[in-house]
Amino acid sequence: MKKEKATILFLTKNQKTIRPGKVSGSIILNWRKYLLSFLLVTIVLFGVIGYLLKDRAQQIQAQQDLQHTIQELHLSFAELDTNAIRERFQNIDKQLETINKYLKDRGIRKVITLPQGGEEEGELSAAEKGEFYEEYLKKLSFDLASVPLGYPFWGAITSSFGFRDNPFKGSGVEAHKGLDIRAPMGAPVKAMAKGTVSFAGRNGGYGNCIVIKHANGYETLYGHLSKIMVSRGQTIEIGQQIGKVGSTGRSTGPHLHYEIHRYGKKVNPKAYLTLN
């Protein structure tokens, strides 16, 4: 069975050359096994060399060298085990746990992406693989924390982003700047990303409204609330309840009006509801 691998690109320190390499997906779970295997193969190799030496003095010297090498390998392995390698992969495990929690708090299942293939190159060292995974997961963890993914309340979408028939005049069309999600009065409304409350109060047609500012230029708006449970300047966590569904402002009945802004521009929230 062909092993699943992913192609990554590594830049040299001068940032002028790119070296592609194949990364095995099992490195995170099997790093300790790889190091132990390397130690065992090295010991056997030195033993064979010592056996093939015909001269007795050479055999004795080879045995002494072998013992010294074994001690050095044990010390090196112990140092790696307790320091750089172990710490790096522990950090990777923590980042994976954090990412899975971000998805779980939004009610999103984790997504498994099959490798796309690419240029065949030699295997990368454990240190290179560990460094790549650690840095990549740090960035992914930060991005996931600030991107508003998922439903603030799980319900049917009754009005989409864009132009729609005017529900109040019975004729004509109007621009709808977000999504309307059907929900019962008083249902919990949750934040979909880490951020800081920039507005919490009454806001014209939005009624009781909350606006949360996130990293990477994102901002989310939650309108028509019956109750506001946060205040301006408050730090918000993923999945935290910030209010309750209502029908305040320009509304025809209980529902949640949900908007996403990116660098000041309103975007379609539907693209952020799932990872599909």
* pLDDT attached to residue 115: 41
What pLDDT shows up at residue 200? 97
Of the listed ranges 45-49, 116-120, 149-153, 232-236, the least confidently predicted one is 116-120
Q: What is the pLDDT of residue 186?
A: 96
Domains and CATH numbers, the chain: 5-146 (no CATH), 157-272 (2.70.70.10)
List own/partner pairs for 179-182 with CB under 8 A and 24 or more apart.
179/257, 179/258, 179/259, 179/269, 179/270, 180/255, 180/256, 180/257, 180/258, 181/151, 181/152, 181/153, 181/155, 181/156, 181/157, 181/255, 181/256, 181/258, 182/155, 182/156, 182/157, 182/158, 182/255
Is the model more confident about 255 or about 65? Answer: 255
